């Protein structure tokens, strides 16, 4: 047997062991993935769910044990798999969202030629999902999917940071929160700045974009066996945005972070404010 033939199995064994170890979820991650049960059982789940619940309890116990046993070598494993980009967190759709999410910008525009004190115009656009609500996603939606993924990743990073701050006992963020900006400098902030710049570039000459409010919308999905109750209202609320940005005449005040508004069955929350001169 050649030296290479003797070494290869050991290298492969080490590599596969590293993959297996990196695939073990942390107890915290597994607990966060559990979710809460909200739907009543149907005929199939009445039989299957209790079996799977028991299996899941065993899984959590085994995973916790595996996590503890592999803890000493985890730093080396993490270094190896992270360096090669081979992390084994295959949790795609493990926790499916139980509602529909939207991202909306309220842009405050000032006419540069208007006198000081002139009111600002507020123009809203929904940027996520990219496809207008209720439209069929055909082959062309492939190109929207990456933008939607970028937006959803950024929103997730925002909420994770908010949760981390809450757990750490930090105060809720306000406009211009430098610590929040720093924490989200590689996720949510680039998203906001991109849409802020994009809208600014679309303005006619003389208009100035002075402020962009980032609003997240959430509409809960019906549980299994329930009918949708507000679909028509939701569709009507979102329809104006199908053709692009819409002038907002109902509310032109500047609002503060965590302000909430209800529109049909969508709960909008103000997440972040981008001022006009701070997008670089």
Partner 1 sequence: MAPLTEPGAVGDRTSWAEFWLGSVDPHIYAALRVLLGLVGLITLAGLGDLSTYWTCDGLVMSSGGSLCQAARGAGLGWLPGALLFAVTVASFAAMVVGYQTLYAVSAAFVCLMMIVYWNPLPLSGAQQVLRAILFCLVWADSGNVFSLDARMARRGEATTDNAAVPPVPVWPLRLFQIQIAVIYFVTGLWKLANVTWRDGTAIHYVIENNQFARVRIETLPIEGLLTLATYATLFWELGFAFMLLHPWTRRLALAMGVAVHVGMWATLELGSFSMVMLASYVAFADPERVRRWMAPSNFDPGAQTDPND
Number of Cβ atoms within 10 Å of the Cβ of 278: 11
C-beta neighbour count of 103 within 10 angstroms: 22
| Binding region for partner 1 (CB under 8 A) out of 105-113, 185-193, 253-261, 268-276 | 185-193
- Region near partner 1 per CB under 8 A, out of 67-75, 95-103, 163-171, 251-259: 95-103
d(CA 58, CA 65): 11
41 vs 175 by CB, closer to partner 1: 41
Using CB under 8 A, which of 61, 73, 79, 137 touches partner 1?
137
Cα pseudo-dihedral 218, 222, 223, 227, rounded to 10: 180
Beta carbon nearer to partner 1, 164 or 228: 228
Interaction of residue 149 with partner 1, rule CB under 8 A: yes
The CA distance from 97 to 20, in Å, is 27
Residue 172 near partner 1 by CB under 8 A: no
The CA distance from 124 to 189, in Å, is 19
- Locate 91 and state its tokens: 């949790």
* Number of residues counted as binding partner 1 (CB under 8 A): 90
Quick one: which of 147, 170, 254, 261 contacts partner 1 (CB under 8 A)? 147
Instruction: Enter the tokens of residue 254.
Output: 């500047």
Q: What phi-psi label fits residue 120: left (phi over 0), alpha (psi between -120 and 50 degrees) or beta?
A: beta
Rounded CA gap, 101 and 122, in Å? 22
Using CA atoms of 64, 69, 82, 190 in order, give the dihedral in degrees to the nearest 10: 30
Q: 5 or 167, CB closer to partner 1?
A: 5
Residues 15-54 that bind partner 1 (CB under 8 A): 15-16, 19-20, 23, 25, 30, 33-39, 41-45, 48-49, 52-53
Stretch that binds partner 1, among 113-121, 129-137, 165-173, 250-258 (CB under 8 A): 129-137
Residue 257, phi then psi, degrees to nearest 5:
-55, 140
Binding-residue pattern over the window 201 to 230 for partner 1, x denoting contact by CB under 8 A: ------------------x-xxxxxxxx--
- Residue from 59, 163, 229, 262 that binds partner 1 (CB under 8 A)? 59
Angle between helices 188-202 and 141-167 (to 10 degrees): 130
Q: Does 186 bind partner 1 (CB under 8 A)?
A: yes
Does the footprint of partner 1 cover residue 261 (CB under 8 A)?
no
Contact with partner 1 (CB under 8 A): which of 3, 75, 138, 169? 138
Determine if 150 is a binding residue for partner 1 (CB under 8 A).
yes
DSSP string for residues in 18-37: HHHHHHSPPHHHHHHT----
Q: Measured from the CB of residue 112, what is the shortest distance to partner 1 in angstroms?
A: 22
Between residues 115 and 140, which has the closer beta carbon with respect to partner 1? 140
- Indicate whether 79 belongs to the interface with partner 1 (CB under 8 A): no
């Amino acid at each position: 047997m050649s030296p290479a033939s003797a070494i290869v199995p050991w290298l492969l064994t080490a590599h596969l062991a590293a993959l297996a170890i990196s695939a073990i979820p942390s107890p915290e991650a597994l607990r966060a993935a559990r979710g809460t049960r909200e739907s009543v059982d149907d005929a199939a789940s009445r039989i299957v769910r209790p079996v799977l619940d028991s299996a899941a309890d065993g899984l959590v116990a085994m995973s916790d044990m595996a996590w503890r046993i592999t803890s000493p070598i985890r730093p080396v494993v993490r270094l190896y798999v992270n360096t090669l980009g081979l992390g084994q967190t295959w949790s795609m759709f493990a926790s499916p969202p139980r509602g529909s999410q939207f991202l909306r910008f309220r842009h405050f525009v000032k006419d540069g030629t208007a006198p000081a004190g002139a009111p600002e115009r507020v123009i809203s656009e929904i940027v996520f999902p990219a496809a207008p609500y209720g439209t069929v996603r055909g082959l062309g939606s492939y190109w929207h999917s990456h933008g939607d993924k970028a937006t959803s990743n950024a929103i997730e990073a925002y909420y994770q940071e908010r949760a981390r701050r809450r757990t750490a006992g930090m105060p809720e963020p306000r406009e211009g929160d430098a610590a929040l900006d720093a924490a989200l400098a590689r996720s949510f902030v680039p998203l906001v700045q991109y849409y802020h710049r994009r809208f600014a570039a679309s303005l006619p000459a003389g208009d100035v974009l002075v402020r962009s409010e980032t609003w997240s919308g959430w509409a809960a999905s019906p549980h299994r066996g329930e009918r949708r109750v507000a679909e028509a209202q939701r569709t009507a609320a979102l329809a104006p945005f199908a053709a692009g940005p819409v002038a907002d005449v109902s509310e032109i005040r500047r609002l503060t972070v965590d302000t909430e508004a209800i529109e049909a069955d969508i709960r909008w929350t103000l997440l972040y404010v981008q001022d006009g001169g701070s997008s670089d």
